[in-house]
Amino acid sequence: MLDGKYRKELTVDGKKYSYCDFADFLEDKGQRIEEMPYTIRILLELALRKSAEKPYLKRYLEDFIDWDEKHDHDVVFKPERVVLQDLTGVPAMVDLASMRDEMKRRGGDVETINPDVSVHMVVDHSVQVDSAGNDEAFDFNVKREFERNNERYTFLKWAQNSFDNFKIIPPDTGIIHQVNLEYLSPVINQRNGVLFPDTLVGTDSHTTMINGLGVLGWGVGGIEAEAGMLGQESYFPLPKVVGVKLTGKKRPGVTATDLALTLTNLLRKHNVVGKFVEYYGDGLKNLPLADRATIANMAPEYGATCGYFPIDDQTIEYLKLTDRPQETIDLVEAYAEKNHLRYQEREDSQRHYSEYVELDLSTVKSSVAGPSRPQDLVTLDKLPDNFRYYDDALPQNLDFDMGNEHFSLRPGALGLAAITSCTNTSNPEVLICAGLLAKRAIERGLKVPTYVKTSLSPGSRVVTEYLKASGLQPYLDKLGFNLTGYGCMTCIGNSGRLKEEVAVAVEKTGYPLAAVESGNRNFEGRVNPLIKDTYLASPPMVVAYALAGTLDIDLEHQPLGKDSEGKGVYLKEIWPEPEEITDCIHNYVKPELFSENYNGIFKQNKVWNRLVPPVGETYEWDEKSTYLASAPFFDDKGGQAHLSGLRVLAKLGDTITTDHISPAGFIGPDTPAGRYLKEHGVAVRDFNSYGSRRGNHEVMVRGTLANIRLKNKLAKGKSGGFTYDWLDEKDTTIYEAAMNYRKHGIGSVVLAGKDYGMGSSRDWAAKGVKLLGVKAVIAESFERIHRSNLVMMGVLPLQYLPGENADSLGLDGSEAFELELEDKMAHVTAKNDDHQIEFEAKVRFDAPIDEEYYKTGGILQYVLEDK
């Protein structure tokens, strides 16, 4: 029960509640609540409330006074919820099951390994686009999904029955972030009569989508999520808060996707990496919540920890639209108003932000982003310029036959066009727009070229219902945008095989085909291994480019195609009017669609319901399984202050993503992971994806640093998971070199450039290098989540001093490394037969607990010893 000086009471609908009044706390310290950003208010409320339960946390409260001068001080964060998706959630639950095994081996109480907060897993990342462009695609893809993942899904059902506070949203019901937005989050929580803001972390970096609903949360690695589930507080430096003032209103024809991509470009340039972003300004009233969610979803792409929109009238309207209980809506309104979390646009009291950015919404233009980074904004008229560099390099065309048609394609031609991902399929405006555009295109006689693989994978079954009710789904179907599944499909790399004739032609030639998707990630090799250039776009623009069959086109001035009379059809001629979109939403996107869908969400999937899991407090592992195995992380003796004899496993450049380090998609048959699977009797057609096999460390360690687009400077110009073995003096795979080093008792090191580990919150990007024997990663800078994951696996993150990097220091990768930790710095000695190079590097222990994790050998060992 909440007690103490700052406990206040609130009556809502005749019921009495208590809450923690952080404004009174600030007033006692001589500060005004009006000057504090909403995100910092939420952190303060949590710290104040938790310190009433755990007095040792009170020492963190003083740091909120003059918070913007104390970014070298730490804040404690213990979220109220954890959300998981299956690609990251399965290995997290494998770790917990393995911890129970280890606890049992040590003679302890296995029941102490149990989530102490509410945990939901949404199974949405395993379904693949095996079939597309036909009415049977959805059923076929679901059938294949269960054939591939039956073992994983049975394990998850065991976990749901064996662990407390753990619930699973079954496969084929929706994408994690959209389900979280439309159903899971109450915005304001209440427990034992105490009201407090909903806060969460998720094992997907796009957990930030919930920021659009006025809820503070962000993505973490699966390892960090496990810590939160097992009662560990997390610590991080008090963040800088970048205030982004939005003014004006979007122009007709400009979508929420255009705005999100524009902000991604703007905020990357401003450098909001590791900072909180908070939106304010009179432009907020012109942004419906679906638009806010689209922008918040892409916070990882612009580099921020979160992209927060405060609670206001749009929040309340969205809760009504999604048919939340009236009690929930009343609590949100009353609490937010009473406890200073409802947005106020006042002239007499300006909130203080660490930094300021401004955007006039009326200046945003229709655009796309690519070819391999979400922040690389391109307006429609400039897009053809991005393909001109191929003109001299590739004089030949890609020629092939499909049926009676012959195609001769140039770079920019589309292999894939996908309406996919939580980013946009949560937004009725862009989906209705896509449907209306499809309708008008068909009425003008346009069609998608047969070589383009098209697909539609919404984030919620609600989307299907309103597209059907409005009569728009049949038009999308006629263009090949049939329903393929409810999940993160093309965006995560589950795009399936290209059209067969296209795939064969590209495999023979390596020709650079393109893709367009309404997603949030377009890193090299992500959506499909045969796709070179991937561009992000809104759903209607995906339809438009699919009709054109290429991205090498200026849609502002060139026609999409020709109608039945041979007349050119321009995009502006068939783009829906804003009033038409608004009327359609008003008529067909109804609250009852949401309540009818979510009332039965836990039982919607009949195939899932028929799975019969084993029973027991520990899991019975199948030693022959290539999907699941007990995690091997409990024998580590802990990190050392002195390391010597380390050999360089990889020397990498800038912008190495977690996709590069631990790919999620295609497993090549001739890779170490592919060979392992074949040796264990798995047919190539049943390889599934790296993402689906994250419960088995034998597959995942072989897939570490194995992305086909990885450029290791030790691999002599060869792309993929290759390196040079300094012991045997030969070219080989990274996995084989690492195992050779381990066999001889030699650790390894990875050298990297800027933004190492950017992208998805992928725990295997840290677990994998750990199992390869990597003792340290030395980089110019680290992405927030991945740095944390490395520490939590006992791998040392070291950062070059400003202005230095491997090349400037003369490191060529042939050296043997010696590391000596001295407080917050490391003295590094690198030597070979020709030279000896010494330099200092910063030890990136950013939180007070980091050094303990490292010394113990990682967080799993730390938690076990703490139980």
Q: Name the band, by pLDDT with cuts 50, 70 and 90, for residue 733.
A: very high
In sequence order, the β-bridge partners of residue 359 are: 246
In the structure, what pLDDT confidence band is assigned to residue 218 with cuts at 50, 70 and 90?
very high
Q: For tokens 């450029």, what's the residue?
A: 711
pLDDT tier for residue 347 given thresholds of 50, 70 and 90: low
Residues 6+ positions from 412 with CB-CB distance below 8 Å: 384, 387, 514, 533, 550, 551, 552, 553
Residue-wise pLDDT for 543-564, tens only, equals: 999 999 999 999 999 999 999 8
Percent of the chain predicted with pLDDT > 70: 99
Q: How far is CA 685 from CA 147, 668, 688, in A?
A: 11, 11, 7
- pLDDT of residue 567 exceeding 80, the answer is yes
Q: DSSP characters for 506-539?
A: HHHH---EEEEESSS---TTSS-TTEEEEEE--H
Q: What is the SS3 assignment for 56?
A: helix
Upstream peptide bond of 371 is cis (omega within 30 degrees of 0) = yes
Least confident of 300-304, 394-398, 402-406, 720-724: 394-398
Cα gap 691→507, rounded to integer Å: 23
Which band of pLDDT confidence, cut at 50, 70 and 90, is reported for residue 349? low
Q: What pTM value is reported for the model? A: 0.88
Tokens of 476: 């999308």
Q: Are 219 and 785 in contact (CB under 8 A)?
A: yes
The rounded distance, in Å, linking the Cα atoms of 857 and 864 is 11
Q: Tell me what pLDDT residue 688 has.
A: 86
Query: How far is it, in rounded angstroms, from Cα 562 to Cα 447?
Result: 10
52, 222, 267, 420 from 761: Cα distances, Å: 32, 7, 20, 19
Render pLDDT for 529-538 as a digit per residue (tens, 0 to 9): 899 999 999 9
For 339, 741, 767, 772, the CA distances from 775, given in Å and listed in that order, are 47, 12, 12, 9
Q: What is the pLDDT of residues 461-492, one digit of tens each?
A: 999 999 999 999 999 999 999 999 999 999 88
pLDDT in tens, 626-652: 999 998 888 777 888 899 999 999 999
Dihedrals phi, psi of 2, to nearest 5 degrees: -70, 130
pLDDT averaged over every residue in the chain: 94
3 state DSSP class of 368: strand
Distance CA 602, CA 179 (A): 12
867: pLDDT strictly greater than 90: no
User: Cα dihedral angle (554, 385, 665, 415), rounded to 10 degrees?
Assistant: 50
Return the pLDDT at 759: 79
| Rounded Cα distance, 212 and 297, in Å | 8
What length does the chain have?
Answer: 867
Lowest mean pLDDT among 287-291, 324-328, 445-449, 684-688: 684-688
pLDDT in the model for residue 1? 46
CA 648 to chain centroid, in Å, comes to 29
Distance between CA atoms of 544 and 385, rounded to whole angstroms? Answer: 18
Specify the pLDDT at position 4.
76
**Cα separation, 803 vs 801, whole angstroms:** 6
Domains of the chain: 7-66 (no CATH), 81-363 (3.30.499.10), 372-598 (3.30.499.10), 642-662+704-866 (3.20.19.10)
| pLDDT over threshold 70, residue 2 | no
Beta carbons within 8 Å of 207's beta carbon, 6+ residues apart:
83, 177, 180, 200, 201, 217, 218, 219
